[in-house]
Amino acid sequence: NAGVTQTPKFQVLKTGQSMTLQCAQDMNHEYMSWYRQDPGMGLRLIHYSVGAGITDQGEVPNGYNVSRSTTEDFPLRLLSAAPSQTSVYFCASRQGSSYEQYFGPGTRLTVT
Amino acid sequence: GENVEQHPSTLSVQEGDSAVIKCTYSDSASNYFPWYKQELGKRPQLIIDIRSNVGEKKDQRIAVTLNKTAKHFSLHITETQPEDSAVYFCAAAGLGNEKLTFGTGTRLTIIP
């Protein structure tokens, strides 16, 4: 099992550009989430999904879109990047019957 | 929504001594309290968790205590070692664990 994978590892964008952060898991987990991590602020939930076709907003959803067409994939879209979206992004997944979340390795995004 | 406060933000401990990190939460409906360890440049990894029907849980040198009445929980690391140096995050979640709220982290440094 590869677990939770994320691509790319690093990305630099210019203000106004769009991009998609990829997240995939091969553990057949129902639940998937996206977090952003900023210095001194812990991890904050952006969006989450409890299964294919079902998504919902977390604490800081503005500026981000998600979709969940398959159990394995949960991409995060930035429609028009802003410097405030400079952060490290983590994807996580868990089984519906378990509380434990498994995190991906993260994507470091810089918006100039 | 849930609010989790974590103290201290930094902690330095002599090798072999104990370290204690404390968190408080606001939502009395929260019933799951995990602790994550994050080494520099790595993903958060679950080290121990506790559910609201348990007051204390131990795993070798690590223990977590929960006081539901006071709405606080703590991480205890005994016989600290250099490899314990990392950032530690507490978190809280309610039923279903769809929304995990994190504390702001504690940077623990073990002094040899």
Taking alpha carbons only, the member of A86, A111, A89, A96 closest to residue A15 is A111
A71-75, A93-97, A100-104: which has the highest mean pLDDT?
A71-75
Arithmetic mean of pLDDT, B60-79: 96
Residue A22: predicted pLDDT: 98
Per the omega criterion (within 30 degrees of 0), is the bond before B8 cis? yes
Q: Is the pLDDT of residue B27 over 80?
A: yes
Distance CA A67, CA A73 (A): 9
Residue in A46, A54, A99 to test binding to B, most B beta-carbons within 10 Å: A99
Quote the mean pLDDT of chain B: 94
pLDDT tens-digit profile of A2-35?
Answer: 899 999 999 999 999 999 999 999 999 999 999 9
Tell whether B54 is within 8 A of chain A (Cβ). no
**Is B102 in contact with B46 (CB distance < 8 Å)?**
no
Q: Is the pLDDT of residue B98 over 80?
A: no
Arithmetic mean of pLDDT, B9-20: 98
Dihedrals φ, ψ of A48, to 5°? -145, 165
For residue B92, what is the nearest residue in chain A, using CA coordinates?
Answer: A99
Q: Is the pLDDT of residue B99 over 90?
A: no
